[in-house]
Chains A and B, each alone.
Chain A
């Protein structure tokens, strides 16, 4: 495996949030199939999905994933090295005591779960110790969340527009804030490897 260096990366991060929408499923499953079993950070995913289909999605994501994908319950503590997915039809927030809260508030950017909400609350809790990754998608959800992460000194990555099935979402983030890295899915996987290395 060839190493890649990422400007601004260190081993003091506490969590990773990933946002994705239309066209992100393949990328996500590819990333999950590569995240090592002993990857140290919690990975919190907020993906747009069918609102009224409670089951199926998590199974589909889990098939190739090395780690189990967990749909957290309300007030579930966030643990190191676990992979979490926002449940269908609930917004997923991170609270100061490092646990999740769910809510059925109005949709944000036509979405519930909303990536902005997950990213903004994560950024409030983890400040500059947060990595935000925004993948393919057809709307603007996540752009404000990425800006919040960047403004709080976190580490930001969007999927390379040419690598996206639909690039509206990462493009929206690039438009309103300076993003640290624009990476293909394959290079996002290398980023995970590099983090894994740094924490050894």
Chain B
């Protein structure tokens, strides 16, 4: 593996910021560097300079770049115990006071998490009363999310997770395999709104009962995590919930005192202060 210098990465992020308005300056440097190296290899660029030139000259390539620089690995019912708590504790709690539930998937990637929640809500009989918005910075991955088509190999893992989640059915009730691909039942997500949204430079656009932002902020450094958390905080109703990845923590964040921990294992927080 070749080495690239931080100054070169800085130059690149500056160009992107000026030309396209995306700001990667405060992404966690270790993974960001690996992503750049991967792109250099994938497209056989001689170095960061060549990549920077291509990005400057070719907006279509830039879309591809966004798609490659982001990490889209995801699963349905990832951390089954998280989804169980959501079903058995969090949602019943919200439903005590509300008839409708609004949910934002921030960084929804290829949409597996959206199908997870839709299946969960359907099995609880409240899918029709829910409003789901799913956003990501990566247009191409959003296309994949909208299409609801997954590989059979990934479905095997998803099915295992679903079993451990202890869903009501078999997961295969919700998809059909054709030509070696799994086509999800799209009626599950007919009311889901998929939108492009950048957590770093994007605006706060609505308020929700639950915000899921799992395994997204691990790609940010501490400063950026703080900034983005402020936006997430603003996007949650008072006494609404925030879920982050099971290996993320709010402990080091400035805004931590505006939340209480509802479930530490599954990293579910409740907003208690504006």
Query: Do A and B come together as binding partners?
Result: yes
In the assembly, what is the distance between CA of A76 and CA of B250, in Å? Answer: 11
Chain A positions within 8 Å of B249 at CB level: 73-76
Those of A148-197 within 8 Å (CB) of chain B: 148
Query: If the complex has contacts A54-B79, A103-B218, are A144 and B73 also in contact, measured as CB distance less than 8 A?
Result: no
Say whether A104 faces chain B, with CB atoms less than 8 Å apart.
yes
Contacts of A102 in B (CB 8 A): 218, 245, 247-248
| Whole-angstrom CA separation of A117 from B34 in the bound complex | 9
**CA–CA, A31 to B251, complex, Å?**
31
| Interface stretch of the complex, out of B25-33, B141-149, B168-176 | B25-33
Interface size, chain B (Cβ < 8 Å): 28
Q: Which of B205-219 contact A (CB under 8 A)?
A: 215, 217-219
Name the residue of chain A whose CB is nearest to the CB of B161: A52
CA distance A76 to B225 in the complex (A): 13
Asked if B71 CB lies within 8 Å of chain A CBs, one says yes
Is B246 among interface residues, defined by CB-CB distance under 8 A?
Answer: yes
**Are A101 and B31 in contact (CB-based, < 8 A)?**
yes
Alpha-carbon distance A54/B81, docked complex (angstroms): 10
- Interface hits, B58-103 → A, CB 8 Å: 71, 73-74, 79
User: A74 contacts which of B29, B71, B161, B245 (Cβ < 8 Å)?
Assistant: B245
A128 to chain B, nearest CB (A): 16
Query: Would you call B1 an interface residue if the criterion is a C-beta within 8 Å of the partner chain's C-beta atoms?
Result: yes
On B, residues with C-beta under 8 Å from A are 1, 28-31, 34-35, 71, 73-74, 79, 160-161, 164, 215, 217-219, 221-222, 225, 245-249, 251-252
Q: A residues bordering B, Cβ < 8 Å?
A: 52, 54, 71-76, 87, 90-91, 93-96, 99, 101-106, 117, 120-121, 124, 144, 148
